[in-house]
């Protein structure tokens, strides 16, 4: 039997500790795994692109556990009442190849993306950052808001989305969070307006195109840019000149993948970008001056899903066993060499044919 986590299970697991604590604990797990970067198999995700979206597989292993995520990105889905992104994943034992956990990852991907954003910002943003512009107020926005409130102490959010209904939704959801009552919400008329006075700018838009959300005039010395929405070829959010502004330094998860899918796909192949693991392990500097412009060019990497799946599996072990759900994904056989006899023999028997006499 294989452990199973559905959407209702994630609701329960998050609900027992609250979204802020959950994201903080998940961020710690992700950082710990990045610090053992050399233990992991690394490859860019396997993508199948179409005119309307993309379907991807994201595998990795540390030699003891293996994980993969199936994820899609279809920006026009919302017009049909469907999610832009859905996902599920598997955690498996390398020694036997047996799956240990099958889990939803739609909600969990939003949690781990926000956790990674805030974890990176703790190492890159100015410590006194308290104001964040949040550009793109769709499905990921609440998670980013919670993460930056909890992990960085953001106390003012400046919101903008081309869809005013999305901003209204975000503002209403944030106003309903009792443990974030001191968070000031400012609804802005444009991206430029939202960036006024911001210490951190998070862009998390969904359109699959080379968008120009941020331009150099909107960016000032000392800002940290958390560019989340650009995550596939042909999809960007920052004007290319932002990446080369004086004092700008770019950080990525996995350089070979980011050069295909991230903001730096706009730049020459030798454009300098520091991998997050080198920053976290002290092999490369982060912010070197209060005037630096730090840019986290985040596209999402398989290690973060590995961390999330392992974290979820650990939470299951901490729970009351009566809440644990399991599915018969793998046959259990008395004789492991007799797959047919142990599964289909009983249902496939037919009455013997009488011989003509």
Active-site positions read 231
Query: Comparing C-alpha atoms, which of 324, 326, 311 is closest to residue 17?
Result: 311
DSSP 299: -
Residue 215's CB is within 10 A of a number of other CB atoms, namely 14
- HEC letters along 50-69: CCCCEEEEEEEECCCEEEEE
How far is Cα 83 from Cα 139, in angstroms, rounded to an integer?
8
How far is Cα 181 from Cα 169, in angstroms, rounded to an integer?
17
Element (H, E) at 101: strand 99-104
Spatial contact of 297 and 251, defined as CB atoms under 8 Å apart = yes
- Maximal C-alpha separation, the chain: 99
Query: Comparing C-alpha atoms, which of 317, 316, 303, 300 is closest to residue 66?
Result: 303
Q: Residue 287 in 3-state DSSP?
A: coil
- Which residue is associated with the tokens 């499905």? 139
- Residue 348 CA to its chain's centroid (Å): 45
How far is Cα 8 from Cα 32, in angstroms, rounded to an integer?
27
């Amino acid at each position: 039997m294989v452990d199973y986590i559905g959407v209702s299970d994630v609701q329960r697991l998050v609900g027992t500790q609250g979204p802020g604590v959950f994201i903080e604990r998940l961020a710690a797990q992700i950082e710990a795994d990045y610090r053992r970067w050399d233990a992991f198999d690394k490859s860019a995700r396997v993508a199948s692109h179409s005119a309307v979206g993309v379907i991807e597989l994201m595998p990795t292993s540390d030699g003891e556990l293996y994980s993969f995520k199936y994820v899609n990105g279809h920006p026009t889905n919302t017009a049909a009442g469907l999610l832009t992104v859905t996902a599920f994943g598997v955690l498996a034992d390398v020694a036997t190849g047996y799956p240990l956990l099958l889990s939803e990852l739609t909600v969990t991907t939003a949690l781990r993306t926000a956790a990674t954003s805030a974890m990176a910002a703790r190492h890159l943003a100015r410590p006194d950052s308290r104001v964040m512009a949040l550009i793109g107020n769709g499905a990921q926005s609440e998670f980013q808001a919670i993460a930056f409130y909890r992990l960085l102490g953001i106390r003012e959010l400046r919101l903008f989305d081309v869809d005013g209904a999305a901003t209204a939704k975000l503002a209403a959801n944030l106003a309903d969070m009792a443990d974030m009552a001191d968070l000031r919400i400012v609804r802005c008329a444009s991206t430029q307006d939202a960036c006024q006075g911001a210490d951190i700018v998070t862009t998390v838009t969904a359109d699959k195109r080379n968008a120009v959300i941020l331009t150099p005039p909107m960016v000032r010395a000392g800002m940290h840019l958390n560019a989340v929405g650009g995550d596939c070829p042909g999809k960007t959010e920052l004007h290319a000149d932002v990446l080369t502004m004086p004092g700008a330094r770019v950080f990525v998860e996995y350089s070979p993948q980011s050069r295909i899918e991230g903001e730096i796909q706009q730049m020459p192949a030798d454009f300098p970008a520091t991998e997050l693991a080198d920053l976290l392990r002290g092999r490369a500097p982060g912010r070197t001056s209060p005037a630096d412009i730090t840019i986290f060019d985040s596209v999402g990497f398989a290690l973060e899903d590995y961390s999330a799946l392992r974290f979820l599996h650990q939470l299951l072990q901490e729970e009351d066993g009566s809440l644990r759900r399991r599915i018969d994904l793998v046959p259990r056989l008395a004789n492991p060499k007799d797959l047919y006899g142990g599964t289909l023999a009983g249902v496939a028997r037919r009455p013997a044919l009488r011989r003509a006499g």
